[in-house]
Structure 1
């Protein structure tokens, strides 16, 4: 199932990871594991934030994807099902 992910990083923890050079590896490990359609970085609510869209084949994927963000960045990790335009069209045609 296509998922929308929002990771909001605790400011101090993210700053430490940037300064020690480990932030790129954390993001790279996520992209290699999740193979997202896209990943974007921004600031939301005053926090460094990563958003991504990817296919979640099984709920069993969630712990290995989430734990690195929890442990390294004290981050929040929010997953929400998401549709593209084709999914929406199919869903609306089933009403």
Structure 2
């Protein structure tokens, strides 16, 4: 299943790691290990952040995605299921609406 992973880095220890030159090398190692479909770095709520798209085959894979960020950067990680337009079409929204709606629009 495809997931969006939102990573928020606290100011420390990231500032210290940037100053001593280790931040980039560790980020590179983490990305090489996780192999996200894509990753973008941005500001989030006044902090450094990253947004990754990853394929998660099983819930037991989540720690292998989160722990490198937790252990190296004391980062916060948020996981959200992400659907493509094809995924959404396969959900059969019309059938779900019929099942769960009291009022049907014709």
* TMscore range, shorter length: 0.7 to 0.9
RMSD: 1.7
- Larger gyration radius, structure 1 or structure 2: 2
Length-normalised TM-score, structure 2? 0.77
Deviates more, 1:43-52 or 1:33-42: 33-42
Spell out the pairing of 1:24-43 with structure 2 (5 A cutoff). Answer: 24-43=24-43
Match in the other structure for 2:23: 23
Query: CA shift at 1:29, angstroms?
Result: 2.4
Spell out the pairing of 1:9-88 with structure 2 (5 A cutoff). Answer: 9-88=9-88
Deviations 1:64-93 (Å, cap 9, x if unpaired)? 322221122111011111111211122245
**Shift in CA distance, 60/92, structure 1 to aligned 2, threshold 3 Å:** same
Unaligned runs of 5+ in 2: 97-106
Length-normalised TM-score, structure 1? 0.85
Aligned residues: 95
